[in-house]
Amino acid sequence: MHGRAGAVGLVGVGWAGPAAAQADPPSSDIAVPEKGGNYSTVPLKQDVITVAAVQSRVRAVDGGNPGPGVRANLDHMLELIDKAQFFGGKKDLLCFHEFPLSGWTQWSREEIDRLAIEIPGPETEEIAKKARDYGCYIKFGAYAKDKDWPGHILSITTIIDDQGQIVAKDWKARNIKGVFPGFELFTTTIYNVLDQYVEMYGADAVIPVARTPIGNLAGSSVQREPELFRCMALKGCELLLRTATGGFEPEDIRMMSYYNSIYSVVVNNAVSPDNPGFFDDQDGGAGGSAIYGPRGETLSMANSKFEQAVVARVPIASFRASHRIPDVHMALYQPVFGAYVPRYAPSLFSDYLPTGLEDAARFLDAQDRWS
């Protein structure tokens, strides 16, 4: 897909952030409170919530004929929702990993375009029904398409509330670069089209926080970017919901909780038999799903690499009563950040969409400002 990827205008109604209707040009106001305890919230529905990280298999669908594979993965996800709610009391929030519907492999752009879902769409409707049936929130990741971004493939974290409504539909903030031999990811992130994104949705939508009756939630599949999670905390995030399909560093998750005094949930994939192209344990990268408290303490952790629900209770009301956003001495750091030159400029995918993984590596290598 070459040339400029047209993405202008406003989008439809339904939820905050990229999908919010905008009658006027988006506001540039950033939702960071002047006083650390006065961050924006909505009233809580209960004092304590029960959270489950559903550590499940990952299984890549056939990029040439994805329908049957997506159907089978969706059925498995729906069954796991039933299992998570079957024993041990009601769970108020179920968190799945980055790709429960499609899995992941080295597909072409054409193949991912074929398997990417629409949000809302048939798959989210079935998940929403489970959310209504159990009166719980459900968070999961997926490759997605959006009519307002023709030609782009998005990696979206979706949160569905206990009424079956989509309350968050958050783009991945950025892709990691330089870690895959011979290729780079070509999904469009906020950073890849930053100028267009801000023009359409406003600066506050760049780092979204969903303010819900079970707490202020922020989701991300990004690793190794503490600045991103600090910004979420500065905007009032209370529960950081992270995915890590294929492996992660537990200390990264734990310390983001500790440094920002928030709860964190990380969901990784389980051992995954019959996942095309990968060993069952994905070279040792399976397992480790966990829930951490605001002092970095482990509240609950997977006891194996197999499928399971990792469950913890979060006293959200008492936490909120005393919680403050991080106390950051920004005047020390702003001059350094202002002088810093990022390795890759933002908005590179506004003018060129790589045709595949190898083309993404070629294109980004040519844009490397540090080389």
Paired tokens of 222:
């990004």
- Whether cis (ω within 30° of 0) applies to the bond prior to 315 is no
Query: What kind and span of H or E run contains 137?
Result: strand 137-145
Q: How do residues 47-91 score in pLDDT, each as one tens digit?
A: 999 999 999 999 999 999 999 999 999 999 999 999 999 999 999
pLDDT digits (tens, 9 = 90+) for 199-240: 999 999 999 999 999 999 999 999 999 999 999 999 999 999
- Strand positions, DSSP E, 147-214: 154-160, 166-171, 210-212
- Quick one: 366 exposed, middle or buried, by C-beta within 10 A (0-12, 13-18, 19+)? exposed
In a domain, 328, yes or no: yes
Q: Is position 46 within any domain?
A: yes
**Residues in Cβ contact with 262 at an 8 Å cutoff, skipping those fewer than 6 apart:** 233, 237, 238, 239, 240, 256, 294, 323
- Output Rg (C-alpha) for the chain, integer angstroms: 20
Please indicate, yes or no, if residue 326 is contained in any of the structural domains: yes
Taking the C-alpha atoms of residue 11 and residue 20, their distance in angstroms, rounded to an integer, is 7
Question: Do the domain assignments include residue 11?
Answer: no
Number of other residues whose CB lies within 10 A of the CB of residue 67: 11
**What CA–CA distance (Å, rounded) separates 276 from 262?**
37
Q: From CA 239, how far away is CA 14, in angstroms rounded?
A: 22
Q: Tell me the residue range of the domain where 212 lies.
A: 22-366
Low-confidence ranges of the chain (pLDDT < 70): 1-28
In a domain, 9, yes or no: no
What CATH number does the domain containing 278 carry? 3.60.110.10
CA end-to-end distance (rounded Å), the chain: 26
Instruction: Answer yes or no: is 6 within a domain.
Output: no
Residue 24: predicted pLDDT: 53
Burial class of residue 144, CB neighbours in 10 A (0-12, 13-18, 19+): buried
* Burial class, 352, CB count within 10 angstroms (exposed 0-12 / middle 13-18 / buried 19+): middle
* Surface-to-core class of residue 331, CB atoms within 10 Å of its CB (0-12 exposed, 13-18 middle, 19+ buried): exposed
Q: Is residue 352 part of a domain?
A: yes
Task: Tell me the pTM.
Answer: 0.92
Please give the Cα distance from 76 to 278 (Å, whole number): 19
Running DSSP on this structure, what letter comes out for residue 36? T
In a domain, 83, yes or no: yes
The pLDDT assigned to 307 comes to: 98
Structure tokens of 47?
A: 């004092």
Split into its structural domains, the chain has a count of 1
Q: In whole angstroms, give the CA distance from residue 98 to residue 170.
A: 12
